[in-house]
Structure 1
Amino acid sequence: MTINDVTSRISQIQSQINLLTPASNPVSSAAFANALSATSLTSTASGGMASAGATADGLAVVEEAKQYVGVPYVWGGTSPTGMDCSGLVQLVYKEFGYDLPRVSADQARAGRPVASMAEARPGDLIAWDNSSRNSGVDHIAIYMGDGKMIEAPRTGLDVRIVDVPSTPDVIRRILPDAAPVTSTSPTTTASVSGGGVPSFVPYADAFNTAGRTYGIDPMLLSAVARQESGFDAAAVSSAGAQGLMQLMPATAKGLGVTDPFDPTQSVAGAARLLKDLMSRFGSTELALAAYNAGPGAVLKYDGVPPYAETQNYVRSIMTTMEATT
């Protein structure tokens, strides 16, 4: 071994040690990229994108509905300038290709039943039969998760976000179900044959396994984890995002993640979400923007939103990815 070989090996080890440094002493994206590049591993896990799944669409339904907060209630209204409760539901779901009935009583028979609020997911319809004068339900709303809903309440009030006031009489799911994410036994191999995240990166097995399962580049998952939490599986943000991939509780529930602090579940949930976002928006950049700022923001601005945080987020991860290819 020559002196140059020794020097090169020392530099590589130093890079690896930097990657294991906790979030309190983060390394730069360039250092992260250089260390990954030094392994000479190239990811081959990314494949063709599948159709958008229910969980990401459920979150997108909520984001779509949020844009109408503040719009006046208009009885019989079905437009962005004024709407009633069923008009809101119909307008929102129309954006995703669902032609729901016009009135709440008929909407409450669409899709399929959900047994209880404990099983409700973002995007589900929740409805009440408050009046004996009508046949069937007379008020319907879109469930957001975490006990919140979006509704067009009544004359004199605007579309708003409120706590679910009582147990709904009807809960319906319009979107297709997705299989829940469950923990899997970690692999013992140091790296994925044919490419993947190298073994010295924290949680490499989780990134590689999720990448194979959902057809997402494991390097992308690893870069998102570094950006989101600094590889801290116990991280909790000021906004309430949890775990390695910083999933909000409602998002985690919608993705079937029962424990966001379990790194395997967190990475698998994030992989599923990113896969769906990439399928919906057609590019990694827009998928990352939606992961950070929400699908509604990407739809609103027809691209990466003009938020400094989101633009820096996308730029940092894409720079890391470009440096590893």
Structure 2
Amino acid sequence: MGVSGVLSRIQELQSQLGLNPMSVDPNNTVVNGSAGAKGDKTFASMLAGATDSPLVPTAGGGTSGGDVVAAAKKYLGTPYVFGSTDPAKGLDCSGLVQRAYGDMGIQLPRNSWQQAKAGQPVASMAEAKPGDILAFDSPVDHVGIYLGNNQMIAAPKPGDHVKIQKVYETPTHIRRVVTDTAAVAAQNLASVRPAALSGSGALAGVPYGDLFVKAGTKYGISPKLLAAVAKVESGYNPQAVSKVGARGLMQLMPSTAKGLGVDNAFDPEQAIFGGAKLLAHNLREFKSLPLALAAYNAGGGAVKKYGGIPPFAETQAYVPKVQKALAALGG
């Protein structure tokens, strides 16, 4: 990183620390503002004081490192623009990381030095998994997302763009915010099997609980997941109609309902079995709960097009809502 890059990072840190523009004199004393009054702390000590507390992201359950990688890859070619978090304008390194995780419903802090404290530490590159955050230098001035095979995706520097590159040096920090793909895949498979739940008593007090259990048993998915989708979609109202024409308990569009063999989407049993069939298909295709839910809301074509949760406000909000409803049911 050149001098201009270092200065840009200092300005970024100043903004986060709430400092006035500053320079550093030859004695390493902070000089704040145009008046040139010397501060009583060095820049390094101020930074250390600002990073004492670990940062814990708000994570979306069921997201894998592979999901994060897929989300990041859709920004390949986006120009590097320092300070930008808007991919339509450009992204800097930490903006890319924040955006990719945000697409998965996981809220990360804005700056690279903060992201280097998110999640849990990973001891070495030998233990790094796809989706892990790689941070470089001390203080941290660059981050990327690990892809595996000693490669990462990053927004490297001004004049460059988001791209895949080798991990050019040993990271100073490796952080894991989500579990690895294999573990999540096993968890997802377990969660969609009826054995993962007890009988209808597991949904005691939930409207149409017996139908969720029957449909989940037939299609091999979690009855609690079906109930959570119905809760978010319609509030368990079998007569609900959306502004775009989605109908019934599971809010099936007429064309979708027809393809699922649902003759009457207002009939709770038909709607639940149709929704279960659709969710089971999405889980098999995308092997990820967040992506399966995104496909339920926006369509599988949109998930494929964007390589992850589509950047639609409704879908971005929908996935964590269902996950929250599922958690409330003990799923």
User: Structure 2 length as normaliser, TM-score?
Assistant: 0.42
User: Structure 1 length as normaliser, TM-score?
Assistant: 0.42
Between structure 1 and structure 2, the one with the greater Rg is: 2
